[in-house]
Amino acid sequence: MKIIDCEVIDLRVPTSDQLLGSDPFHKEPDYSSAVLHLKTDSAYQGVSVVFTVGAGTDWLCYGIRDLCQLVVGTTLEDFAASPFKLYRRLIDHHQLRWLHDGVFRMAAGAILNAMWDLWAKQQGKPLWKLLVDLEPSFIADCIDWRNIQDALTREEAIEILERQRSGLSARENQMSEVGPKAYCTAGWLGLSDEDILATIHRLQEQGFDSFKLKVGRNSQQDVARIKFMREAIGMKSNLMVDANQYWGVDEAKEHLEAFRPYGLKWVEEPIARDDVLGYVELAKTFSTASFDFACGEQAASPVIFKQLLKSGAIKYCQIDAVRVAGVNDVMAIILMAAKYEVPVCPHGGGIALCNMIQHYGMWDQIAVSGHSDTQLVEYIDFLQDSVEHPVATTNGHYVTPKAHGWGLEFVPEFLDRHRFPEGEAWKDRSPERKGARFEV
Amino acid sequence: MKIIDCEVIDLRVPTSDQLLGSDPFHKEPDYSSAVLHLKTDSAYQGVSVVFTVGAGTDWLCYGIRDLCQLVVGTTLEDFAASPFKLYRRLIDHHQLRWLHDGVFRMAAGAILNAMWDLWAKQQGKPLWKLLVDLEPSFIADCIDWRNIQDALTREEAIEILERQRSGLSARENQMSEVGPKAYCTAGWLGLSDEDILATIHRLQEQGFDSFKLKVGRNSQQDVARIKFMREAIGMKSNLMVDANQYWGVDEAKEHLEAFRPYGLKWVEEPIARDDVLGYVELAKTFSTASFDFACGEQAASPVIFKQLLKSGAIKYCQIDAVRVAGVNDVMAIILMAAKYEVPVCPHGGGIALCNMIQHYGMWDQIAVSGHSDTQLVEYIDFLQDSVEHPVATTNGHYVTPKAHGWGLEFVPEFLDRHRFPEGEAWKDRSPERKGARFEV
């Protein structure tokens, strides 16, 4: 099966009309995606998305289109024989690698993820099942070991995977209808107390017992909200807070002192995404607190994850599906987390991130670290009417995805309506808004 | 003075014809630049460049063009009143910031650097002199303190700058003809022993006594080359090695054991650019060795520099002029280095990097850390016929730059000849080479 063409779509939803998903930094996000369709000489196409928050989606589309030159003309059989060859061809391209992480690594991830999607479809399997069925040594061959072996060797990775072979089918059966446990953000910054209560009750009725709250801007308000949430959910439910990198290290220490009494499970992104030593310091300072630290949704490379895991600075590993270079990088991170016994709690939300991370949750719990309800997978049902295979939960757990590949197909009308800037959703907006250049 | 338009040029030089500047990762670099000209309603224009190694220059051009929307229509007076306002407008753009570092931060740096250039020109000063003449509190106001205050506070930065006020004019006078001390790479990987000897002799005749050697691929060959270089230059000259991130942490330890006997001054980029804890470990392992560690040319954010400096992991701080967000970020890094008493030894080479870093060397030695010959500024005379104001050395030191602004103006014929892909230098090349997609 040959890759013969690519289509890259700049898809943007004007979610900032309702301030959906806003945080202290991303004040008016328009949930967006660079959507890649790799066309083949068969009926199959490889699909992937890179989530963004509006302006800049075009930068990613530009990069992905350029990188497609490195995959158009190749075959699925080449890829399936060695996914690492394509990884190297992209990530280690001797000129493009100068572009560093960020746009470049995300664009490379888009190509890799679309190829993995294609392979899973051709095999007639959801992505998680494709991964579960791979040989341990094949998985090890997919990974770039150069910069991470001081934390995890190839041999250790294979050992971890071999160890889970016993009981693997039982776990696969067990999880074939009910997937990983899910958690939800109930406390968005903009919501009133009443809104939050209503959200909590709705989620509790659906079987959720783990809730997250956004914090950061005002210490007194944060503490009041934490108290309020804790009272609403009771002591038995999990309560987590997320500061979206709003603080410096000393500032974080100061704020977090006031968070000690409320039995928080984790504090997410208290400081900058690349401040490894800052995390080490926070972990030491709060070693006796109820909470541990979580981060990763904006960690740009496996090397950052390596340090956070090896040092014990984070106790929850929040992989993102589209920030690093696709399945290959994420598998490396999940295996490192398994070695250091840090539960993988993937970052969801955006457009279609949950649709992707559920596969990683499945693979991790069936084939890598083993199933447990400490591995919470973020669940946000934003924009699920936009996709052919929406995520769903049952009794607070993901419903196991059955569609082949990632299951990332968008509803065609949705895709057409939100093409930027020519789609219906955008064409009557002011030029400033369309340019997404408005200051907030 | 109003910014009324921008021109962004994809400039590429087919340097891979001669394998100029190749290293283990960048096998056939075509030295390139995204060149930005900010046009004004006056005779002045703001110029900046972002160095790259070929493919991907267009990604940067795309991003810079997009970001120009945030500066066209503004005035130089607005910028000069608060350079930080523009910094925030770019780096913290509430949607674009999702793009992380890499292409995005480099593109933001291009805009900032061009505005600083414009300001210096309007003031009739070289960039270093503009910086030297700024009030300490004004400099502090240019800096993004959010994520670095645990290493350096605004107050400490002002104190450092105030302390250097005494003796500032004397240092400025002293350095107004002869600038910072320079060093050179004499041992490129591809060169023969004879070539290296000839290079060393030529450099020694020009007054150089500090030489760098590329290492990484083969331990035995590396050691033989180090011995050879040491014998050629004698024990009194400085010898440094650069591994360009080729090793993992354990691999680096193994290789570096064999480097102990040769009185090396520094080992540059032994491991990945973002592996802070790896650097901490190496520094501990080799605390008794002659050499210390140097890095920074590919460090993507001031937060990475903060950790490397605060932890004592690096003893030479290799700022790059175009990897982070321009003058604002670099000033923060130089000030942090001053606090931790780590000499700033900027990364040069590429196209026009030396033309930029000499200004930072000047500012650092006049106004921040004080003048000393431990602050070596990299010097490579590649492609200096391409610019109107080539860098020059005298007796192993930079000749102080006198042109206003950065002095980054290209010779017009050079610029035209190397426009990609339409310039004379490219138009008769094969489509693969022009696409820069060829595999190496």
Backbone φ and ψ for A290, nearest 5 degrees, come out as: -65, -30
β-partners of residue A174 are none
- Give B-chain residues touching A29 at CB under 8 angstroms: 94-95
Contacts of A20 (CB under 8 A, 6+ apart): A29, A31, A382
**Among A86, A98, A281, A351, the residue to mutate for chain B (most B Cβ within 10 A):** A98
| CATH assignment of A3-123+412-435, among 3.40.50.720, 3.40.50.20, 3.30.70.3190, 3.30.390.10 | 3.30.390.10
Distance from the A313 Cα atom to the nearest Cα atom in chain B, whole angstroms: 12
The shortest CB-CB distance from B276 to any of A58, A251, A276 is to A276
The torsion angle over the Cα atoms of residues B420, B425, B431 and B436, rounded to 10 degrees, is: -60
pTM exceeds 0.95: yes
For CATH 3.30.390.10, the residue range(s) in chain A are 3-123+412-435
d(CA A158, CA B392): 55
- Give A-chain residues touching B89 at CB under 8 angstroms: 439
If pLDDT is split at 50, 70 and 90, which confidence band does A133 have?
very high
Biggest CA-to-CA distance, chain B: 60
d(CA A164, CA B241): 44
Tens of pLDDT, residue by residue over B45-64, are: 999 999 999 999 999 999 99
- Residues of A with catalytic annotation? 214, 347
Q: What is the CA radius of gyration of chain A?
A: 21
d(CA A213, CA A189): 8
B278/A56 Cβ within 8 A: no
The shortest CB-CB distance from B147 to any of A95, A275, A311 is to A275
The shortest CB-CB distance from A93 to any of B55, B95, B251 is to B55
Tens of pLDDT, residue by residue over A237-249, are: 999 999 999 999 9
B53/A98 Cβ within 8 A: yes
Length of chain B: 440
A386: pLDDT strictly greater than 60: yes
Distance from the B402 Cα atom to the nearest Cα atom in chain A, whole angstroms: 31
- Give A-chain residues touching B152 at CB under 8 angstroms: none
**Which helix (H) or strand (E) segment is A249 a member of?**
helix A249-257
Strand A238-242 versus strand A266-268 pairing type = parallel
Q: What is the pLDDT of residue B144?
A: 98
Q: What is the pLDDT of residue B21?
A: 73
Cα B261 to chain center, whole Å?
30
The beta strand positions in B99-149, using DSSP E, are: none
B278/A274 Cβ within 8 A: no
If pLDDT is split at 50, 70 and 90, which confidence band does B440 have?
low
Tens of pLDDT, residue by residue over A199-236, are: 999 999 999 999 999 998 799 999 999 999 999 999 99
Tokens 């500012």 sit on residue = B363
Strand A397-399 versus strand A393-394 pairing type = antiparallel
- Tell me which chain B residue has its CA closest to the CA of residue A61: B59
Distance from the B29 Cα atom to the nearest Cα atom in chain A, whole angstroms: 6
d(CA B321, CA B350): 11
The pair of three-digit structure tokens given for residue A104, joined into one six-digit string: 């470049």
- Tell me which chain B residue has its CA closest to the CA of residue A275: B303
B149/A29 Cβ within 8 A: no
- Give A-chain residues touching B274 at CB under 8 angstroms: 101, 274, 300-301, 303-304
The shortest CB-CB distance from A70 to any of B28, B306, B437 is to B437
- Give A-chain residues touching B272 at CB under 8 angstroms: 146-147, 301, 303
Asked: is B161-399 a CATH 3.20.20.120 domain? The reply is yes
Distance from the A146 Cα atom to the nearest Cα atom in chain B, whole angstroms: 6
For CATH 3.20.20.120, the residue range(s) in chain B are 161-399
d(CA A226, CA B348): 51
Question: Residue A421, preceding bond cis, omega within 30 degrees?
Answer: yes
A97/B25 Cβ within 8 A: yes
Q: What is the pLDDT of residue B439?
A: 60
Tens of pLDDT, residue by residue over A172-193, are: 999 998 999 999 999 888 789 9
B437/A63 Cβ within 8 A: no
**Which helix (H) or strand (E) segment is B284 a member of?**
helix B276-285
Tens of pLDDT, residue by residue over B121-168, are: 999 999 999 999 999 999 999 999 999 999 999 999 999 999 999 999
B191: pLDDT strictly greater than 90: no
**Among B60, B85, B150, B250, the residue to mutate for chain A (most A Cβ within 10 A):** B150
Amino acid at A126: P
A100/B298 Cβ within 8 A: yes
The pair of three-digit structure tokens given for residue B55, joined into one six-digit string: 């493919």
ipTM associated with this complex: 0.97
d(CA B189, CA B334): 30
If pLDDT is split at 50, 70 and 90, which confidence band does B22 have?
confident
The shortest CB-CB distance from A303 to any of B250, B275, B311 is to B275
CB B66 within 8 A of CB B108: no
